[in-house]
Amino acid sequence: MPHIVIEHSPRLDASHDLQALCDALWDTFATHPEITAPDTVRVRTIASTASRIGVEPQSFAHATLLLLPGRDEATRRGLAELILKTLDEFLPDVGSLTVRVDHLEQPYIKRMLAPVEDVAHG
């Protein structure tokens, strides 16, 4: 944990490097002092098939940060601000950028193979 899910307007991937955005967010969170297990950081994008927003240009990116309960409001706000800053760096011409923090309640179960650093050095 955490997971960052970025919903975005259609075809945003044609004009922006969303993989670089995911990589930058992963690097930021994997090295953040609040994140004790970097191998649990997940970042992904999901394209919306259709949308309408109240600003121009008609483009958006909305990130949901999923965290296990236990972090105080200042920490959650700081992590959300990091996401918004990164979105703004990679998507400066997108009409609307938003971030929401949500708790991932138990039960949360998973199955993982070897962490990335083990695979890279193995």
Instruction: Output the six-digit token pair for 117.
Output: 């650093």
pLDDT digits (tens, 9 = 90+) for 90-101: 999 999 999 999
Q: Output the pLDDT for position 104.
A: 82
Phi/psi class of residue 28: alpha, beta or left (left: φ > 0; alpha: ψ in -120 to 50)? alpha
Quick check: 118 pLDDT over 70?
Answer: no
Q: Is the dihedral of CA 51, 4, 16, 86 positive or negative?
A: positive
**What is the mean pLDDT of the segment spanning 75-86?**
97
pLDDT digits (tens, 9 = 90+) for 5-31: 999 999 999 999 999 999 999 999 999
The verdict on pTM exceeding 0.85 is: yes
- Architecture of the domain spanning 3-121: 2-Layer Sandwich (3.30)
Quick check: 77 pLDDT over 70?
Answer: yes
Q: Output the pLDDT for position 51.
A: 93
Q: Output the pLDDT for position 116.
A: 62
Sequence spans of domains, the chain: 3-121
Q: Output the pLDDT for position 121.
A: 34
pLDDT digits (tens, 9 = 90+) for 24-76: 999 999 999 999 889 899 999 999 999 999 999 999 999 999 998 889 999 99
